Structure formats: C-alpha cells, structure tokens
Structure 1
C-alpha cells in the first residue's frame, strides 16, 4: 500500500538494449567506429528512478555476453537493485541509432531470439515482492513473444497490491502497429498509469485527437493518461479532467532517453506524494500536474547531455517540492 511521505519501492520490468552510435571523430573512409552505450526504455527508466532517490528494482533478463556486463555495470552504478534479474544465455538486444540534425534518434534493431523476450512464468513469479508499490513495464518486452503475454498475466496478479504503469513505447519497425492497437485495450484494463509519446498516439490512434484518445483509454480502464509532447510539454488527463504542462527551455544535445526519464520523474513524484500502491484513489489533478511538471524537468536535463544519461538528485537544479503551473 502507499505510504504517504515515505517513498516506496518501484519495480521496472523490461529490456536492456545496447544503443550503438557512430563515433564520427574516429570514423574515416576505411572504417566506421561505433560506440555502444547501455540503454533500453525500461532500463533507462530504472536508472533515472534510482538516481532520483527512489528505491528501484530492475526485473530484466540480462545476457551473459559483453553487453550484459555493460548493462549490469550501469544499473549497479546508478543504485538499481538487480537481485531479482535473471542471468540469461541468449544474446543482448542491439539498436543502431541514427541521429538527425536536431538530435532525434531513429533505430535499427537486432533483436531476434534475444534474452529480453524469453521470460517464463516461473521466472516472473520469482520476482514478486509484496513491498513494491508500483510495477512499471512496457516497450518491446510487453509486446514481443513469447514473454509478452506472460508479463501481461503477471501484471494482473501484481496489481492486487501495487500500482501498474505502462509505456507502450511503440516500435513499428519491429512490431506491426495493428498488434499494438489490438493489445492496448487490455493494457488499459490492467494499467493505472498510461504514459505515451505524441508519436505513439499517432500510431495507436491515427486520425484521432489527443483528447478523444485519452477518453477512449480512460474508458478502457486507465485512470491517469499522460502524453508527452516533446518541447511542448505534456498533456495530463486524470479520469478525463485535463491540463497541459509546459516544458522548461533547454539546449538539446539529443532526445535519447527523454521519455524514459519523464516516466521516472512522474513515478518518483507520485511516490513521494504517497499516491502509489493502489488504484490512485487519492490522486488529484493538481498532484498529477505537479508530478508531470517535475517529470518535464527531469526529461529536459536528460536532453541537455548526449545519450540516455538522466540526472542525479544531488548536484542538479531539480526542484523536488510540488510545482504549480
């Protein structure tokens, strides 16, 4: 159950991905030099949560290859608890990033038969922790076979005692958009929080306005729907009552991991306000607005540096008290 004024433990279930970038300063016509950075939406969210000071467990299937060692080092250094993660024999997932002039990343994935998608019911059951106030998941781990459907079943059991948060993080190059649209109503039925990007909405609800899309997802069961709008902030919708929060100004290095950091800021602030641990029964639109305004700060700081490198609570300009707009 939620503990007002005392942050609870948040679990994040999903993939780690090696983000592969060109190193232009070392590349030449004779060879392309690449740099591998630890990433993956759920792993980025876990790192950001832990750096903000929220007790965080990452529930992942981490390969025993060189990339798996890279993932473990980053998660451990950020203070994430890996005690319930699985050491897996399958390879890690790779994503080769191509950055445009504005810092936006497009990815080519190498993900077939990777460790992240092979969850078993026994492995998932072993991750359960009755002290957890929230389980966040989504991205490819929730949609790819064979593990995705097992994670859905696991969420239905976990929500008996914890808030459920889902970020679809749509990847149409890897999964047909129709597959996401088919599963989304079921996700809304088991999720208390649905966090999407504006691009996700364009894929999931084409030719539908954001207000109408929010109402549809509320009708399917999600109480809090948050749509991030890049530099335009975020649309916050609680049971159909809506407000838009602004994004702070920032000089963008790139946008890698910004949405994941936003999700972490949102969950961290809701936890600090005592709203996690159930069905968000005490959440008000003012508190949801405060949480999303804080989350926008976290995302902006992530955008100000290269790669998915979310801020630490100490040594940043983050405001941790409620912010009114």
Structure 2
C-alpha cells in the first residue's frame, strides 16, 4: 500500500471500535518497486499485511498477528494498519529490520520479486498464545509459512485454531525464488486444517511440480473444503467436492497486479463476515449462487486494486458508491 495513500485516508478510520472477528497472520514488509529510471519507490506490502488492510477497509473487524520492526519502515506499517482500521493487539514489535522485497514490473503489469529477509523482524514472531474468543476466522499465507523460526509458530497456530473450530483460510502465494522444494510437502501436511485454500494459476503450477507435487483434486481429498483460484484477467473460480463456479474478471486499465490476489483473499473474508457465514460449517454449506456472489464481489475489489499502483485495496465506499 502506497504511503501517500495511507496518509490521505488516515483520518477516515481512527481505531477499531469493536473486537476483531478475523485475525490475519503473517508478514508485513516493504516493496521497493523499480520506477524504470534506476530509482525505487518504497511501498508497504506483504501478502498478509495486504489482506488485513483489505478486510479493514471493507469494514469487517480485523486484527493483525505478526512481528513488526521498530525501524522507520515498521513505523509506517503500523501507521498504515491503524489508518485502515486494523486492530494491533496481536502485533509483536522488535528491533530487527523490516523485510524488503525488490519488485520489478513486467510489461503486462505482473510483478517479479527478490527478497531480503535474513534476520528480519517478521520471521522471529513467537506463538501468541490463546487467541481471543471473538476471533472466529484466522488467515495465513506467503513468506510467513516458509521462513523459520516463525514458520513453525504460524503452522502450530494454524492447526490449533482449526482444532478450536475457527475458519482457516490459507494462501500459499508461492514465490519460487525463495520457496524450497520441501514446501510442497509441508503445504500438503497443512491441508487437513484448511477450510478455504486461495491459490493462483501460478501457485497451482508450482505446487504440482516435482516428486511431492499434488493437484487441486488431491487437495480436496487431503482436507481442504474449498479451493478459490485466481486466473488473472480471466477471473476467479471455486472448486469443492460438489460444485465448480467461475466468474469473469472485470476489464479495467491495469497499473500493476501487486496485491490483487491479496485483495481477493481479504474481500472473501469480508463477504463471509458481512453475510453471517464466517465459520467452517457455513462455508462448507455455500451453494453455487452464494459462491458466485462472493467471487463477483472479490473480482470487483481486485479490479480496483490493479487499476492503481502498488497494493492499495479499495474502501467499502469505492465498491458501493456510497
């Protein structure tokens, strides 16, 4: 999320006024985006950070569970979360530096990443202990489930939250440059505790490679209740054991695709919450019409994000016109 954008909207949300019902767990980092003239612009990001910002901006009570640096980038991340209405009760702070992602933008608006994450704050997150009873859904994903020792803490929290009856959403958000081959096995081991798996076409391709490669059909057999797949400009689809629904993407001028999948993830969480369906049994019972409504809402939200630079998800008013 662009720092200028967060400053402009900061006055719109002062603080979360009720206890969060959704927790988003994982890294917050800074994207250094090439401007094409041998300079870089620092933009706030990280998959889980973007998801939390999306949920907060759309109006659902959400908290962020992570470890964020006390350096200047970390202070910007904290300010941006607060400006978007995200509760910080589960945020840990530390003196380690903020993770950096050097980002290049291809001609079609897609992003390429190189990560600088050795010794950074988010990978040293510790188990937060018992989560507040108000939290009924917990989200995980991206680098936080790869970089140790934090990855093990998040994986333990994911399984424990599932055992406690909370809705679990996972987005592996594969980054081939840093994801080790054994992540495919670790990913499969998590599936029995996952209700909604959100992936991209690229994720499906990478996870299907090698000796430990698996397919979406195997993920459903392995325990996932629903698989939501993003297909770029071609839209979104969901697959469960009993249905398949696909909706087209919205055709808009694309600035870049940074944060598009994260916006889909956050928009789905908000849609579930807004319709009183934020629970494992409720999501498992969704029919085709409900999934179509949810996917169309997420596609609309993502179209706003890709129309402007960086991960800058929409506010509720931008989707409703209010």
TM over 0.5: same fold?
yes
Q: Is the 8 A contact 1:46 1:57 kept in 2?
A: yes
Match of 2:313 among 300, 310, 313: 310
- Which residue of structure 2 lines up, in the alignment, with residue 15 of structure 1? 27
Q: Is the 8 A contact 2:159 2:190 kept in 1?
A: no
User: Whole-Å Cα distance in 2 between the matches of residues 285 and 129 of structure 1?
Assistant: 32
Structure 1 residue 8, shift from structure 2 partner = 6.8
Structure 1 residue 71, shift from structure 2 partner = 0.5
CA displacement, residues 129-174 of structure 1 (integer Å, 9 cap, x when unaligned): 1111210011110122111122111112212131000000111111
Which stretch of structure 1 is more off in the superposition, 260-269 or 280-289? 280-289
Q: CA RMSD in A?
A: 1.9
- Which residue of structure 2 lines up, in the alignment, with residue 236 of structure 1? 238
User: What pairs with 1:212-291 in structure 2 (closer than 5 Å)?
Assistant: 213-279=215-281, 280-291=283-294
Count of paired positions: 299
Structure 1 residue 228, shift from structure 2 partner = 0.4
Q: Is the 8 A contact 1:275 1:282 kept in 2?
A: no
Please state if 1:75 is matched with 2:81.
yes
Match of 2:175 among 135, 155, 171: 171
Match of 2:198 among 195, 199, 203: 195
Structure 1 residue 318, shift from structure 2 partner = 4.2
Q: Which 4+ residue blocks in structure 1 deviate beyond 4 angstroms?
A: none
User: What pairs with 1:64-213 in structure 2 (closer than 5 Å)?
Assistant: 64-121=70-127, 124-125=128-129, 128-159=131-162, 160-176=164-180, 178-206=181-209, 213=215
Q: Is the 8 A contact 1:46 1:264 kept in 2?
A: yes
- SS of the residue 1:60 aligns to: strand
- Which residue of structure 2 lines up, in the alignment, with residue 46 of structure 1? 52
TM-score, normalising length: structure 1: 0.87
User: Whole-Å Cα distance in 2 between the matches of residues 305 and 82 of structure 1?
Assistant: 27
TM-score, normalising length: structure 2: 0.88
Q: Is the 8 A contact 2:207 2:215 kept in 1?
A: no
CA displacement, residues 12-53 of structure 1 (integer Å, 9 cap, x when unaligned): 0000110002344xx4xxxx4322111000000100110000
- SS of the residue 2:55 aligns to: helix
CA displacement, residues 188-244 of structure 1 (integer Å, 9 cap, x when unaligned): 11110000000001100149xxxx932211100010101100000112112242121
Structure 1 residue 58, shift from structure 2 partner = 0.7
Q: CA 1:286–1:206 in 2, change beyond 3 Å: closer, same or farther?
A: farther
Unaligned 5+ residue runs, structure 2? Answer: 1-18
Q: CA 1:289–1:187 in 2, change beyond 3 Å: closer, same or farther?
A: farther
- Which residue of structure 1 lines up, in the alignment, with residue 10 of structure 2? none
